[in-house]
Amino acid sequence: MLLAGILASVVLIALATIILTQLVIFPVNNDTGFGFNFLDTVIVKTVIFTSYQAALSTFLSILIGAILAWSLANNPDFPFRNLLVALISSALVLPTLVVVLGIVTVYGRSGWLAGVYFILFSEKLPFSIYGLNGILLAHVFFNASFACRILLHRFESIAEEKHKQCFALGIGFWRRLKIVELPAIITTLPGLATTIFLLCFTSFAIVLTLGGSPEFNTLEVAIYEAVRFDFNLPRAFQLAMIQIIICIILVMLASAKMGSSSSGAVRNAPEYRYLYSSGEKIIQCCVIASFALFFLTPLIAVLIDGTGPQLMDIISKNRFQSALTNSILIAAVSTLLAMSLSVVIASATATLSSPTRLTQVSKRLPVLSSTIIAQTLGKMISTSAMLYLVFPALVMGLGFFLLHQTLGGNPVIWAACVVTLANALIAIPFVVAILRPAIQGAAKKHDRLCASLGLGRWVRWRYIDWPALKSDVTYSAALAFCFSLGDLGVIALFGSDQFRTLPWLLYQNFGSYRTHEASTIALILLMMVIGVFWVAQVSTASAAGEHSS
């Protein structure tokens, strides 16, 4: 696996180099010059707004996510708590456009909230869903859920003795918050905040659909408009390079901070937490109920609006069937590609960090007996896996778009290949982050025993490693599949009437105000994602039961 991991790493670095080279050589080939003008008013405003909305979204997401996690940790008996936590955990892979459509249905000018507000006050809603309000609302939907799931582990891992002592000594809310609960999450916050800021900074579909005007454009949307509408490639190049520079800084910060953000083991909330003041319990229950309402109403709106007599009519259309086929094929191939590269990369890093494996490999490759060479290879492989966090989807798509302009070829074939490859590359950092700890844990647990028994590579994989890793592999494959299925990044540059996916078809209908068709497509996408994760959950539970037996 080590040689395969090194080869995969070289391929990933080569692809990143090709993308970056296309962005760099474009001004030279077209005699436009690099043309960096950091004082350009439009660029400055775009960077400022992108940073501002990301910072505000991050603050609100962390604040709401922390309060929700604190409330859930102290209310293990809240009705349907486990179901709510499971739904919150799936927020990161929900198709963005599906959620946006639900948010518009609930909070839009003619939405549910507007109807209730008019009945109560005989007036229109005092705010619009389009602009900064809608962007913040959608970002909080996704990222507060993400923050809650991370911080919930931290709250639940607080030692029981600390809570017992607080209760026995009669320590009040504010002091307990200061000396017990805040210290449990404080080390997680910097890395979590940096990660959420990066997600909001590179947000595309949310800003594209809810921005409402160029005033609320982010760098991603500005790149898309420069290519798709104006065909102003020099401007797109400038914006892309600025975004890459900022993303490199953010990824470096996230890498430096995330090391201290690992969560401890999850514990069941102990009995004595029921004995805290009734005022706290009421506040916590209100927080959980309010967020559940906020989280579930857009999804319920999609379910309601998507069902109806138009369902069979839309399913029978050729353009829907071709989009569905393309989406499934692209998701399947990109998942297979992402999983193959991720498994060999994670296995290679496990080999280079395991003394037992490294000793065995060094017999075949004596060069690895050098600690410096082994460490250098390990850093190169790890970096290659995380490299594509630096290239947001639109920047990656722009690189491939420029390559297509240079090489030419059938645009439909290019679109299919580029979207598949880009979706795989985007999923790799997340899949590796899941698989690497699992593979390293299995190596640490079984390496010496397998070496003493003289088990071959494939025998060990079949009887030892696969049973231990099956649940993680299944979950990460579902994650990669759903990422690809709902992505509206690269397809936004390559989508056309000749080649479309479900997210692109959904966006076309949404932009053309064909709300019934959009709602039906959104419902189908939502059901597909839920179905994939349900199958993954069943497989994971089955794998866990087989492994424990």
What is the DSSP secondary-structure string of 236-265? HHHHHHHHHHHHHHHHHHHHHHHTT-----
Per-residue pLDDT of the chain (549 residues; tens, 9 = 90+): 678 888 998 999 999 888 888 887 876 555 555 555 556 788 888 899 999 999 999 999 999 999 999 888 888 888 888 888 888 877 878 888 899 999 999 998 888 998 998 888 888 888 888 999 999 999 999 999 989 988 888 887 777 777 777 777 777 777 877 877 788 888 888 888 888 998 899 888 899 889 877 888 888 898 888 888 877 878 888 888 888 888 888 777 766 554 444 433 344 444 545 456 677 888 889 999 999 999 999 999 999 888 877 778 888 888 899 999 999 999 999 999 999 999 889 888 877 776 666 666 666 666 666 677 777 787 888 888 888 877 778 888 888 888 888 888 888 898 899 999 999 998 898 888 888 887 877 777 776 777 777 776 677 777 777 777 888 888 889 889 988 888 888 888 888 888 889 999 998 888 777 878 888 999 999 899 888 888 877 776 665 555 555
> Please, are residues 532 and 482 in contact by the beta-carbon 8 Å criterion?
yes
Residue the block writes with tokens 């189908």: 524
Compute the distance between CA of residue 131 and CA of residue 278 in angstroms, rounded to an integer: 40
What is the DSSP secondary-structure string of 276-332? S-HHHHHHHHHHHHHHHHHHHHHHHHHHHHH-STHHHHHHTSHHHHHHHHHHHHHHH
Burial class (CB in 10 A: 0-12, 13-18, 19+), 165: middle
pLDDT value of residue 270: 47
pLDDT value of residue 32: 53
In sequence order, what are the residues at sequence separation of 6 or more whose Cβ sits closer than 8 angstroms to the Cβ of residue 363?
none
Sign of the Cα pseudo-torsion (391, 189, 142, 47, in order): negative
pLDDT value of residue 192: 85
CA neighbor of 393 nearest in space, from 215, 202, 545, 527: 202
What is the CATH number that goes with domain 47-301?
1.10.3720.10
Residue the block writes with tokens 């005007």: 213
pLDDT value of residue 332: 94
Instruction: Give the angle 122-124-130 at the CA atoms, nearest 5°.
Output: 165
Indicate the residue type of 333: V
Per-domain residue ranges of the chain? 47-301
Compute the distance between CA of residue 41 and CA of residue 193 in angstroms, rounded to an integer: 29
CA neighbor of 4 nearest in space, from 495, 391, 350, 459: 350
